[in-house]
Structure 1
Amino acid sequence: MHGSVGQIRSVLPELVRAELGANVAVCVPYPYLSLAKSLLADTPIQLGAQDLCEHHIGAYTGEVSGAMLADVGCEMVIVGHSERRNYFAETSETAARKVKAALDAGLWPVYCVGETQQQRADGVARDVIADELKVLAGVPTSLYAVAYEPSWAVGTGVVATPEQIAEMHAFIKQTLSPHTCVLYGGSVKGTNAAQTMATDGVDGVLVGGAALSATEFLRICRAAH
């Protein structure tokens, strides 16, 4: 929950001017989606939202449906982010319904999974991830991406080691399919992006706070290229 009209107008044109070679998408807060779409028109940069409602239409005041997101030009949406799970009591069951809603609207869901520090210390990280991945059972791998974001590394400045990342990404691909697109999210910034993306099994990154700075986000995008 960051941003303003001024920030959107400052950051996005810089991304457009950079003519990035990597696949890049930005997921901005709901009020700025139409503005972002206009600034990204005729560019390969994709637009996404940070969440969606599990319901398609109806008396759900304050919610935003997948069809509405598609209507204003969104191509993708984040589902099940750790902050949604931690602060808004979202469960994997909720996420499953949101994934279906996204697919029904023709959106590409980026489904987030990850364990807490305590769960990792208890040796149940794989069990937690396996349970969260059940949401995607039966969904063709070309229709979504998985973002591995250990909650102990989100917004903390702590980044999982390449060994930890490689191990969990391999487990996710083993559980779903070797062709699954798996992103890493967790305090990704310009100084660690290249190493993270060079790690086995990492197909890209889900960037948080670093994307608020055009300079920092461009460093990450160029590392991907």
Structure 2
Amino acid sequence: MRQKIVAGNWKMNNTLDEGLKLTSEIINMISDEVRGDVTVVLAPSFVHLTRVKSLIKDTKKVHLAAQNCSEHTSGAYTGEVSAPMLASVGVEYVIIGHSERREYFNETNEQLARKVDIALANDLIPIFCCGEALEVRENGLYHEFVCNQVKDSLFHLHDDQFSKVVIAYEPIWAIGTGKTASSDQAQEMHATLREYIGERYGTDIAEKTPILYGGSCKPDNAKELFACKDVDGGLIGGASLKSRDFTDIIKSF
């Protein structure tokens, strides 16, 4: 059975006090309410990492992620944060290739491949994001587009390396646009990705690879999404900033 994962990406939100309050609420709700075998991942801002780690260190279900890492190990890269730095403060996961990083910071597939490599070299688990914009969806080329993102950034990995990667599919056209991706559309793309991974790495690895859904997953649609055969959880944005909503999503399996 594949790992079930619900990851909360706080993006550029929460002061330190707000973040610590949110973390404490989530920990308490999970302890009281969540009985299933779900891996919960919190991805706060860099400035929250050490303090959030101190709150979750005694929990078994909650793990720490960074929202990004540099493609460089160290050096004169002002403002960047390296994978070794993240590992040194207890980070376990790192989000790589989020649609906002691709769009606003012009991150390329090749650059993301280097980030994946450096994350794995420092024992961080990449949550690799892929997905298409509305124009790509409407011209019907979205299968090829998303699969190419995966191929260009991940298919250089050896089997044992790829086996450590988590995929997150983000239908960018369904995030903040007023359009909604149905569970059928999510399942279709997840199944396509799993089949494509299987062509490169074999059925066994493909069937074990967690593929998360990252397109406006909320308490009212999470159960339907998570019931899909190839949807193994969610990369949650706005709803992860509310402890009640985030916990209800975790309970949707």
> Which TM-score band (shorter chain)?
over 0.9
Q: Matches of residues 53-92 of structure 1 in structure 2 within 5 Å?
A: 53-92=70-109
Please point out which of 25, 33, 46 is paired with 1:30: 46
Q: CA deviation at 1:199?
A: 1.2
Partner residue, 1:196: 225
Alpha-carbon distance between aligned partners in 1 of 2:177 and 2:212, rounded to the nearest angstrom: 18
* Alpha-carbon RMSD: 1.2
Alpha-carbon distance between aligned partners in 1 of 2:99 and 2:212, rounded to the nearest angstrom: 14
Q: CA deviation at 1:32?
A: 0.3
Alpha-carbon distance between aligned partners in 1 of 2:137 and 2:99, rounded to the nearest angstrom: 15
Would you say 1:102 and 2:110 are equivalent positions? no
Q: Matches of residues 156-171 of structure 1 in structure 2 within 5 Å?
A: 156=177, 158-171=179-192
Would you say 1:7 and 2:22 are equivalent positions? no
Runs of 4 or more off by more than 4 Å in structure 1? none
Alpha-carbon distance between aligned partners in 1 of 2:192 and 2:112, rounded to the nearest angstrom: 20
Q: Is the 8 A contact 2:66 2:86 kept in 1?
A: yes
What does the per-residue CA deviation read over 1:118-164, in whole Å, with 9 as the maximum and x for residues that have no partner? Answer: 10111100111111011111343421110000111224454311111
Alpha-carbon distance between aligned partners in 2 of 1:107 and 1:4, rounded to the nearest angstrom: 25
Q: Percent identity?
A: 42
Q: Match for 2:249: what amino acid?
A: I
Would you say 1:114 and 2:135 are equivalent positions? no
SS at match of 1:26: strand
The one of the two structures with greater contact order (alpha-carbon pairs below 8 A, sep at least 6) is 2
Q: Is the 8 A contact 1:109 1:143 kept in 2?
A: yes
Q: Is the 8 A contact 1:85 1:91 kept in 2?
A: yes
Q: Is the 8 A contact 1:173 1:179 kept in 2?
A: no
Please point out which of 97, 120, 136 is paired with 2:154: 136
Q: Is the 8 A contact 2:137 2:173 kept in 1?
A: no
Alpha-carbon distance between aligned partners in 1 of 2:126 and 2:219, rounded to the nearest angstrom: 25
Range with bigger deviation, 45-54 or 214-223: 214-223
Alpha-carbon distance between aligned partners in 2 of 1:191 and 1:13, rounded to the nearest angstrom: 24
> Structure 2 unaligned runs (5+)?
1-11, 198-205
> Structure 1 unaligned runs (5+)?
none
